Chain A
């Protein structure tokens, strides 16, 4: 086995819903004219957040079904739903990785995604082992702000390790940490406060990024001419191209970016672009990933000869799995920027019992059912008296099993932030049945016999206490998957 350190697998997640920016701008044009709004942005439904996206991105890069051979999980975000409740631990559990994995949540600035990746690379270089590194962002912006139009929700994930399976070798990096404040968000605020972007571009990006990239290339024994892909996703037009030009990186190496189809996704932006670039990077080609936020990170990677372990969907697959939803009030309500009257049905107290969540953690977070060894029957949720620790029952990780719709309805009476609520009975391939909520359903497209795949979602929002619980929902398997399973 070689000592090559780098990325062994990559994945991503882009929510199903896209908002046409011109349509979004129309909603606030009476108040503020948005110049040059174009393309679309991805957005989370009410039951998606940084953690659900992180889990889906992680699943995208892990074998399905397969073992979760990681010993550490790093989660980068500035918009994690909890200040004190580890998102990395939830991701760890949702992907069914070992409970003794080192789990760490990082944030602090939009640079946290690349810093986490860098940390993962250095961990592998130092002690071996595989680290899952995920960046996920769901920025909440003030209605009518430029940021609201520019942003997008998404996540990206990488497995970092050592050896022959490395597909992108880590060559070098450089980081600059400094208190350049282009935007900030106080602890008690949900939205950012941003300074003039021209200043941020000219004095920030165009000054810090070239220095960081130049040093990273030097550390990697490369020159600007060796760069085949240059990633610097900042929401200022032309900034990446200007930095490339300043450094002597070829103009055609500058990655066009996903701003027009996803939007700027904070900590996840450089990683999402990297995951996208890796889909088409040829062996021997080099990529520079730089990020901007309280300084600048620059990483240099080179595609190895190892066969690509393709993500299940990848950026291209997620981009194809889409619907246009330009319902501005729904968008605002999902981000808790407007309170809609849900009627008295919405007043139901969703207080969760922590002991009950804990007792059922593997069923809830890992969708683990049990197989009755005597009958072979797979049962979910695990029935009373069937703790998987007992010899007569074994755990079955159902999240990666495709399932078939047995019954369904579209319920307009039950309270939901996004009615109707679709749900019904599903049967897993290989056994096991559950009554599941369906998510990402285009009304009228789901039928008895449809194939569905499980997705990690918010189950319950306890608004009164600010708590949320997670569970799995069944999404229609749309015929947009570009790649299936692993190819090598």
Chain B
């Protein structure tokens, strides 16, 4: 077991633009806006940054290939800029690049920035794209909701949950995120909805209806990281650090072996287990105070509660319905509105989750600040589809805690 990066890297500045339909902003404009916020927050100048990672999900309607667009937009002078693409987990993976650069000592201050410009696509939902020459030969021409809807079907079947109970739990998740987003000025969808609205919405991919799907947004978010020592040199005393940062990628086991029943996301389980070990967490249910998970669809959030070990197998739907994960519950999940309502600009989403943890840990989350203890937060960023996924789990806390 490697010794890990617990408390070896500090987050000293973060930025996040208002997510939504940013018709008047280019991807580059969005990056600049998020970057300026993070520089001001960190109290450094752009020349202090010595390496950068750019995360993008769909580069063809975004900034195009390579790290050059970030270097140009942010005027980063000849430093290494690496573009990261790892499906919807790209944002956390870019963060991982910056964090590891600092942890290794190769970099003093590193930047991770993620951006997406989905509203330039021309239609709702994610853009249709090739998954590569080989995959396209065999792969079904499906959609993200279709891929995740299968989780619900398998979950029902495995756990003997009725469609009605599952749909109500899923609706509770979406209603919760809409409620939470009302207190978030940067959220894309800020409108309360009712359980009935969710249940009566048109089906997108059976059993997921319109309100079981997250927002598709424009947006950018970024993080500036350094060592805790450097953070202290910069005059910080309340220092947010990375306790764990893990990424797990499917090797094809799920699509190859009948041992996987389709009702959970294996990579989430693996990444979580490693992250808990790295952070020294033995009982996540007790230790974690807040979670931002990859709620691309309501069913994903529900299943993720079990995959992260904060609900017992087969019981997440009951925990959801009993309010455990509500903003005033025992373990609030998506207190900022989540992908569902803050929005899901792919490349930025992982960094947006960390942004929220950072604000909450520093007590800067405004109206949506969690009442009570915020000591350890978890972010979960999931790319691909349940059968072929990349899951990133980070645990964020304060130095010394």
Spell out A's residues near B (CB within 8 Å): 343-345, 348, 353, 356-357, 360, 363-364, 377, 379, 381, 383, 406-416, 420-421, 423-425, 427, 431, 433-437, 447-449, 459-460, 469, 471
Contacts and interface: CB of A to CB of B under 8 A. Distances in A.
A357 B157 contact: no
Interface stretch (B87-95, B249-257, B326-334): B249-257
A332 B255 CA distance: 36
Interface residues of B, number: 40
A406 B142 contact: no
A407 B262 contact: yes
A331 B92 CA distance: 47
Contacts of B5: none
A360 B134 contact: yes
A435 B139 contact: yes
Given A356-B133, A357-B137, A379-B256, A414 B262 contact: no
Given A411-B142, A435-B255, A360 B150 contact: no
B132 to A, nearest CB: 10
Given A357-B137, A435-B139, A411 B145 contact: yes
A424 B153 CA distance: 10
Given A410-B205, A414-B142, 20 more contacts: A344-B121, A345-B128, A348-B128, A360-B137, A381-B137, A407-B150, A407-B154, A409-B153, A411-B142, A411-B143, A411-B204, A411-B206, A412-B205, A414-B143, A423-B146, A425-B150, A431-B258, A433-B256, A435-B140, A460-B141
B145 A408 contact: no
**In the A-B complex, the 9 residue pairs with the closest CB atoms:** A411-B146, A407-B150, A409-B149, A407-B262, A448-B157, A410-B206, A413-B143, A414-B143, A348-B128
B258 A413 contact: no
Nearest to A469: B137
A379 B146 CA distance: 23
B123 interface: yes
Given A421-B141, A433-B258, A471-B138, A413 B154 contact: no
Interface in B166-196: none
Contacts of B129: 348
A436 B134 CA distance: 16
B138 A363 contact: yes
A475 B387 CA distance: 21
Contacts of B139: 435
A448 B154 contact: yes
11 contacts: A377-B256, A407-B262, A409-B146, A409-B150, A409-B205, A411-B143, A413-B145, A415-B128, A434-B138, A435-B139, A448-B157
A413 B140 contact: no
B41 interface: no
Contacts of A410: 203, 205-206
Nearest to B386: A407
Contacts of A427: 258
B128 A377 contact: no
A420 B206 contact: yes
B323 interface: no
Interface of B: 121-123, 125, 128-129, 133-134, 136-143, 145-147, 149-151, 153-154, 156-157, 202-206, 208, 252, 255-258, 261-262, 387
Contact of B141 (A357, A415, A420): A415
A344 B122 contact: yes
Nearest to B134: A356
B204 A413 contact: yes
Contact of A406 (B140, B204, B261): B261
Contacts, number: 122
Contact of B125 (A381, A383, A413): A413
Given A348-B128, A415-B128, A421-B142, A407 B153 contact: yes
B19 to A, nearest CB: 21
A436 B140 contact: yes
Nearest to B128: A348
A348 B151 CA distance: 27
Contacts of A412: 202-206
Contacts of A379: 256
Contacts of A449: 157
A363 B135 CA distance: 12
Nearest to B262: A407
Contacts of A435: 138-140, 255, 387
Contacts of A383: 252, 256
A435 B255 CA distance: 7
Contacts of A471: 137-138
Given A409-B146, A413-B125, A364 B257 contact: no
A408 B258 CA distance: 15
Nearest to A369: B256
A383 B156 CA distance: 31
Chain A CB count within 10 A is highest, among B145, B153, B202, B262, for B153
Specify which of A408, A411, A414, A423 lies most central, judged by the most chain B CB atoms within 10 Å of its CB.
Answer: A411
Contacts of B208: 409
Nearest to A348: B128
A421 B150 CA distance: 13
A423 B134 contact: no
A129 B153 CA distance: 50
B140 A423 contact: yes
A407 B387 CA distance: 10
B137 A364 contact: yes
A60 B154 CA distance: 33
B121 to A, nearest CB: 8
A119 B125 CA distance: 54
Contacts of B150: 407-409, 424-425
B157 A437 contact: no
Nearest to B154: A407
Contacts of B141: 414-416, 421, 437, 460
Contacts of A447: 157
Contact of B137 (A348, A356, A406, A416): A356
A411 B205 contact: yes
A406 B258 contact: yes
Most chain A beta carbons < 10 A, residue from B147, B255, B256: B256
Contacts of B138: 360, 363-364, 381, 434-435, 471
A409 B141 CA distance: 13
B64 to A, nearest CB: 18
B137 A413 contact: no
B125 to A, nearest CB: 6
Contacts of A348: 128-129
Given A409-B150, A413-B146, A345 B123 contact: yes
Nearest to A424: B150
Tell me which of A406, A409, A410, A460 has the highest count of chain B C-beta atoms within 10 A of its own C-beta.
Answer: A409
Most buried by A among B146, B203, B208, B261: B146
B206 A343 contact: no
Given A409-B150, A411-B142, A433 B257 contact: yes
Contacts of B261: 406
A422 to B, nearest CB: 9
B386 to A, nearest CB: 8
Given A424-B153, A436-B140, A448-B154, A406 B123 contact: no
B255 A433 contact: yes
Given A383-B256, A412-B205, A353 B149 contact: no
A436 B204 CA distance: 19
B387 A409 contact: no
A330 B369 CA distance: 53
Contacts of A343: 123
Nearest to A408: B153
Given A421-B142, A448-B154, A413 B205 contact: yes
Contacts of B156: 448
Contacts of A409: 142, 145-147, 149-150, 153, 205-206, 208
A481 to B, nearest CB: 25
